[in-house]
Structures are given as C-alpha cells and as structure tokens.
Copies of this chain bind each other. A is one copy, B any other.
C-alpha cells in the first residue's frame, strides 16, 4: 500500500519494435519489413522507420527473432577438443580471422564451441536443436564422425581441411598435394638428389596429402621416396624425426618438412649434427607461419592462406544457407612457394 520500493531489478529491456513503430507512425509489421529488407514498403515509411531506429538506438531482440522466425542468425564454429592445443594453433587463429572477416556486415553471430571427446551427444543435440543455422567444423583428427552426423541431421555443415571420415560433407582445404609436389620439384630443380620428408600423423589428411604430393614430385624425377619419417606437428617430433632420417641416410641433402613447426625442430637437429643449411641439407617447410621468416636460417616454405580458408568456408556455408544450388562439394585453395634461405 505504501510505496513499495522496486527491488534492484534494473536493466529494463531495451526499446522494442513496437516503440519504433509508434515513433515512426507505422505498424509493427512495417517496421519488421524494413528491418528485414523486404520489398513492398513505401520509401516514405522506410525512411521514417530508419529515422526512428536511429533516434531510439533500437537493436532487435535476437532471441525473439530466432524464436518467431525460422533462422537463428547464428552459425557455430566447432573445434575438436584437444582444443586446448588447437586454439593455440596459428591455423585456428587464421581461420577464425577469415570467418570473422567474411561475416563482417552480415547480421550473423559466431558462436564458438568445442567438441569434447566423450559427450559429443550434447554438442549434437545443441547444434541440431535449431540454435544455429549452420556449422563450420575444423581440426578433425582421424575419422571424426561429427560432420557426417550433423550433415545427416540436415544441418548445413562445412569442414575445414579434408575430413577423413566424412565422405560427402562439403569441405574447403588448401591444396596440400600440389603444394608439397611443388616443394619436391623445387628441391629437385636445385640439384638435390637424396630428398627426405617429415610427414604429419597418418590419421590426418593434411599429413597424408602433403606426403603424397612429395612422393609424386620425387617419382616424377625418378628419385627414391623411401626416406619418410613421421612427426605430430610439434617441434620436438620434428627434431626426433630429423635425427632418425640422418641416421638412416647420412648422405641426405634435402628434406621437405610437412609443417613449419616441425621444421623448426628439424633445423635444430641439423644444427646439432653440424649440417649447414642449406649448403649441406636444404630444408623446405609448409604453412609459412610467422616463425618461418624468423627461423635461422629463414625458412623456405609453402604458404597456405589460412585466412582465405576461413573466408571460403564461411562463404560456402552462407551460400548454402542462402539457398544457392549446385555449390561445389569441395574447394581447394592454391598454395604459393616462398623462397627464403633454407633451400
């Protein structure tokens, strides 16, 4: 009965569509049409609405739009767990940058999710629950069934990096095969005869594709392709692999390392064994990370444009969401050789 003091609930919901409508002297429907860029709105009404929106600082309530409409205006970027490692990866950062760049200006939010090893079910439930319009998946290890599952559920999905276990799901990848082949050919063209490689893990397409490209490059020149060692995309594994190769073939005069990060380790081992780079052993990496240019000696490498990868994935997904048809099932991005001092 007395003036009950409002509890500190605060934060009144913001301007609503209806207020904009009133301010502009039109109906809710018309405001909605203007916001969604529909036709059949007189320019007079459109103008009035825009003014009202500007004056009131109106921002539509996404939750309500999602609930009422059929679109969530939101896509997910799913990173497979081990993610603690993945997020540290410049690859991930590059992709993220590209995704963001491509999304700029479009009224689409990006939510980041990590697929936990065990309870993928939770993730799948969430994603398929209509909370997002589409999914970008990156960093698959092995035969991750996630993309297949999502695609089967009818959720538009694009994978970054050729997925091993998800035939038919659209993907975008760098042209690892041709990039690696170019590296091999380059080494051949420089007169190298005994060319080794340090490949990525066997359960990742990126590792296998680069290995295949290297093999093809060498066999075209009728060179032996027996000098293969494997690493796991860490400097340490690169160092170990290099030592192994050196033991198996002390006379090797070049090595193509399937990732700059491993090349760093290889460089250290080479140095420790008293091999001069590139005089005794030429080294070519892959990726063109920033560390490639600051390595000693600066690393000759194959550049892949990861930002472009992110952009392209996003473009492909958005195109599908927009209902475009006959989209390519996969896209391969060109790589480029960057010549520095190591080869």
Contacts and interface: CB of A to CB of B under 8 A. Distances in A.
Interface of A: 10-11, 13-14, 57-64, 66-67, 72, 74, 83-84, 87-90, 92-94, 96-97, 100-101, 104, 109-114, 116, 121, 125-126, 128-131, 154-155, 235, 264-265, 268, 290-291, 294, 296, 307
Contact of A129 (B61, B87, B96, B113): B61
A61 B57 contact: no
18 contacts: A10-B154, A14-B128, A57-B121, A59-B125, A59-B126, A59-B129, A61-B129, A63-B72, A83-B97, A84-B97, A89-B93, A93-B93, A104-B116, A109-B113, A110-B111, A111-B112, A112-B112, A235-B294
A119 to B, nearest CB: 10
Contacts of A129: 14, 59-62
Interface of A is mostly: helix
Oligomeric state, in copies: 2
Q: Which 5 pairs of residues, A with B, have the shortest CB-CB distance?
A: A63-B66, A59-B129, A59-B125, A63-B67, A87-B97
Contacts of A74: 111
A265 B129 CA distance: 50
A311 to B, nearest CB: 12
Contacts of A61: 67, 129-131
Contacts of A101: 84
Given A112-B112, A291-B294, A97 B88 contact: yes
